[in-house]
Chains A and B, each alone.
Chain A
Amino acid sequence: EPEVTQTPSHQVTQMGQEVILRCVPISNHLYFYWYRQILGQKVEFLVSFYNNEISEKSEIFDDQFSVERPDGSNFTLKIRSTKLEDSAMYFCASSSGGGYSREQYFGPGTRLTVT
């Protein structure tokens, strides 16, 4: 069964450093998302991406964040200068889009720890 994959599973970085989180969405999906989950809290939307541009973004997704689809398979989230409060699980999701095809399938997540 196709699934969303994410690398790395755990990333430790120092405050102020740049990090790139990587995702490979399900191959025939057209819409891509990043969500985050601070420990013990609910899953929060960051950004959605379609046709090589951002469709929607939340207030969390400020200028420190960017997304890119560098090739036909990868989808990345970059945090330019990490802060302590960026420590969270980051989930990538994808959906096929179109009509009623809104089911979003999540990857296993990357745990980001900022020290």
Chain B
Amino acid sequence: AQRVTQPEKLLSVFKGAPVELKCNYSYSGSPELFWYVQYSRQRLQLLLRHISRESIKGFTADLNKGETSFHLKKPFAQEEDSAMYYCALSGTLTGKLIFGQGTTLQVKP
């Protein structure tokens, strides 16, 4: 079965603290993993994708096929990072984009 699991509903950190949002997946073929973000009163938008190996707004994510994980990390959280984050998956076995349950990141001043 194709599935994305985000175990934390809410992650609350202080400004300047490191952040790690967890994402685990289940997929039989070659997956493509993404992180999407939704800021308050804005539409859902792409943050980053694993194939690009990019850092966006200081966030990085590495695909670990052995652990089937794609955790999102940032060394120093900022207040403007407060948002809902969704991990998503697609790949060669499907035309669908499958999302996890979402994690709300709250960065306190």
Q: Do A and B come from one complex?
A: no
